[in-house]
Amino acid sequence: MKKLVLIGGGGHGKVVLDVMRAQGDYELAGIGDDKYTHSFSQDGIFHGPVTDMAELLRDDNCRLFIAIGNNRTRRAVMERLGYPESRYAVLIHPRATLGSGVTIGGGSVVMPGAVINYGARIGAQCIINTGAVVEHENVLGSFVHISPTAALAGDITVGDGTHIGLGAKVIEGLTIGGWTTLGAGAVAVHDIPAQCTAVGVPAKPIKYADQPDQLAQRRA
């Protein structure tokens, strides 16, 4: 069985660990988290600050997974670690459903009850959360999080770093820009631009990254 080093010991890390165990392809070798002030072994598993995981990762057959829910933080940790995408595990719960022709990038996790249909392409370091639906031929960039029960109809493009909130919906053929947040329960019926927060039914941008303290009036 292959070994895995998990980066992130919080709540999301515990869920990812459950997926790893259910999948059954990996044995946990270590948990790296900067909340630890020193390294120690517990039940045969190495715990310690993130930098202390380097010794385990000297083994080229040991895989890595960043179990951090925040998209920007996950990207920052990946850049800090400096390992190529090929060193990262893909974790898929056995109760998830994947159609034919689906591709999933390194460091991504698919939670129980999620459905990814025909030809969808999921980038690196993505989270397809519990019960989420990613329909046919969608293209998701890297560092995307599709929250529980959110649903993307077919032929949708989602840019890097975007967070689709709890129960949100996106109708067919739209583009959701990079590093955008689509709020919980929102329904996107038009393209949503990059680097904004969009909420409501239908979803409308209310804030842009360069306008943190005022409602935005722009639309794509």
Check: CB of residue 220 under 8 Å from CB of residue 192: yes
Q: For residue 14, give the H/E element and its range.
A: helix 11-23
Please give the Cα distance from 151 to 191 (Å, whole number): 15
Say whether 12 is catalytic: no
Active-site pick, 12, 93, 136, 163:
136
The β-bridge relationship of strands 133-134 and 115-116 is: parallel
Type of residue found at 178: G
Alpha helices in 51-203 (DSSP H): 71-81
Q: Are 83 and 101 in contact (CB under 8 A)?
A: no
| DSSP category for residue 96 | S
Sheet of 139-140, strands arranged across: 103-104, 121-122, 139-140, 157-158, 175-176
Q: Which residues are catalytic?
A: 136
